[in-house]
Structure 1
């Protein structure tokens, strides 16, 4: 069932909380992408997320909390993490923190790690968590490795009746997943670029922020080499569009071959990277729907949200069908 949140938010929260109490997996809107949500403290419910999403068990989940008090029940906030949390939560930032040894989440929620990835979302999902009273494990609401959902219809198309309740909050505002950070050795490691640009984080962190090099085990979602992938193959840095391709572009410039291309998706005619991020996943899904076998994507600047956009596109373009060892060799 798809339920319009705007039509009756109180009713939506009530039905969602009842489903979560029963250990069900539901779909919720967040400001980043739609999430497949279940009670993070209920190991059986968390296992169901992995089953529905077809997600490998070594890939940890992000736990979504309503406030810092709830975060502190399950994790230890070091001084730098606390400074970032106060500045950017609620919002599109996830922190990988040491688990609270006195109140650990189930092993399946944290993929057996001594750390836990946590964020405080904004909007409806925050109100739902506050009402439910416990954190929600909520990875993106898509089949593992495929394009993330930025609309309720995307969730329905991927899962059908496997997800009994889909809460429709309209198109997501940001359109790419959260930025994931971990404080370590006097600095901050960027595990995944996302909806909060590094340029915004740096002045508050007041310590170096660097990309993490691969060390053999995933500490956070979104680090697999092949991820966010449509059915069609993806060709990056395209300076022309070839016969039979769909074209994804932004800005007002015409791409050579565009006039003969029947499937052109302009993510932002004015060249706004926030608009590009918000429209990206929907465009990849639409390109699949028209049946092309290859998608050409023009170069995207690397600054600001461009870092997250390029990260998603590089993983979307990675070879498919990797072995488990090859699949985890992605890095930022």
Structure 2
């Protein structure tokens, strides 16, 4: 299949929308990561997304809309859910809601009676969806389990020849996937951390919000309500290790030419060997989140690199989302520092 490459101009957006109307798959930008779009009401189109990604069939897809009107035929929207939409949409919040009977494909929901829904902040994509005339599915536009794409070039790397088109709107701004909140639970529960924090959600809802991301992993026969709950995600083929900034000088004692290090600018200024393969995470947490997946993807393609050491961040706010993705990418492996006894 030839993959067409589009820019963010109206004529290209219209051409991409026509591909969606024809049941094809198109890579699209959001403020978080690039997504892989297809008509959420067309089972054959949705199957193409699973095939392109190599995604397990029981891993539900997010239904992405250009406006709330597109959503109302498919899900039940409570007053509390409306308050979240008012506060955080368009933006990086995905809300799990009950579906209306017979209105949503079971391929999209993973066979569940709930659907994960989102309205992205990216104007190009909202225009695309409104032009297409239906909601689209929107999983990250990478091979299943691999680091998420934050540029159109990342999408091309994984999906060239597998999808009908890719829209390039430049690098994403947030860099980690949206927060997912389950509004069908007895108490609103976060199933995936992101830029919208637990405190942000609780303030709008006026009630407790539970962080469910640390719950025991799902069993093989259980279907997750949201992406990222069951299967390994964000993982390069190379070995990834997480290091604490306090261990920075110890880490430098063990680095070789086959190791890459990803750290913020303050640490990299003190890198002893200036030839050491390195990737800047920027000057702050926002920039680190933007740069994380791009760095992992870059070093994963470098043949001489065997190991990637990545700096952890303070575990609060967006830092929780950053550390969550990093823990999944590393499989929980940590650099423990040197034993100096």
State how far apart, in whole Å, the 2-side matches of 1:276 and 1:2 are: 31
Of residues 200-209 and 14-23 in structure 1, the stretch that sits farther from structure 2 once superposed is 200-209
Q: Which residue of 1 aligns with 2:302?
A: 290
Q: Which residue of 1 aligns with 2:96?
A: 96
State how far apart, in whole Å, the 2-side matches of 1:155 and 1:38 are: 15
Q: Which residue of 2 aligns with 1:246?
A: 260
State how far apart, in whole Å, the 1-side matches of 2:39 and 2:185 are: 32
1:39 aligns with 2:39: yes
**How many pairs align?**
315
Residue 201 of structure 1 deviates from its aligned partner by 2.4
Residue 261 of structure 1 deviates from its aligned partner by 5.6
CA contact (8 A) 2:6 2:16 kept: no
Q: Which residue of 2 aligns with 1:108?
A: 107
Residue 220 of structure 1 deviates from its aligned partner by 0.5
Residue 184 of structure 1 deviates from its aligned partner by 4.4
Structure 2 counterpart SS, 1:166 = strand
Which consecutive unaligned segments of at least 5 residues does structure 2 have? 334-341
State how far apart, in whole Å, the 2-side matches of 1:224 and 1:300 are: 24
State how far apart, in whole Å, the 2-side matches of 1:116 and 1:127 are: 22
Residue 121 of structure 1 deviates from its aligned partner by 1.1
CA gap of 1:258–1:166, structure 2 versus 1, over 3 A, is farther
Residue 258 of structure 1 deviates from its aligned partner by 4.7
State how far apart, in whole Å, the 2-side matches of 1:299 and 1:42 are: 41
- Give the superposed CA RMSD: 2.0
Q: Which residue of 2 aligns with 1:323?
A: none
Of residues 198-207 and 297-306 in structure 1, the stretch that sits farther from structure 2 once superposed is 198-207
Residue 256 of structure 1 deviates from its aligned partner by 7.9
State how far apart, in whole Å, the 1-side matches of 2:112 and 2:272 are: 48
Residue 92 of structure 1 deviates from its aligned partner by 0.5
1:167-316, aligned counterparts within 5 Å? 167-184=167-184, 186-212=186-212, 213-214=215-216, 216-238=222-244, 239=247, 240-241=251-252, 242-243=255-256, 244-253=258-267, 258-259=272-273, 262-268=276-282, 270=283, 272-291=284-303, 292-316=305-329
Residue 317 of structure 1 deviates from its aligned partner by 1.1
State how far apart, in whole Å, the 1-side matches of 2:182 and 2:269 are: 40
CA contact (8 A) 2:242 2:309 kept: yes
State how far apart, in whole Å, the 2-side matches of 1:258 and 1:223 are: 39
Residue 5 of structure 1 deviates from its aligned partner by 2.4
State how far apart, in whole Å, the 2-side matches of 1:184 and 1:208 are: 14
Cα deviations by residue, 1:272-331 (Å, 9 ceiling, x for unpaired): 1111111111011111222311111122111111111111011111189xxxxxxxxxxx
Structure 2 counterpart SS, 1:105 = coil
Cα deviations by residue, 1:113-169 (Å, 9 ceiling, x for unpaired): 100000011211111111111000010000000011111111111122112211111
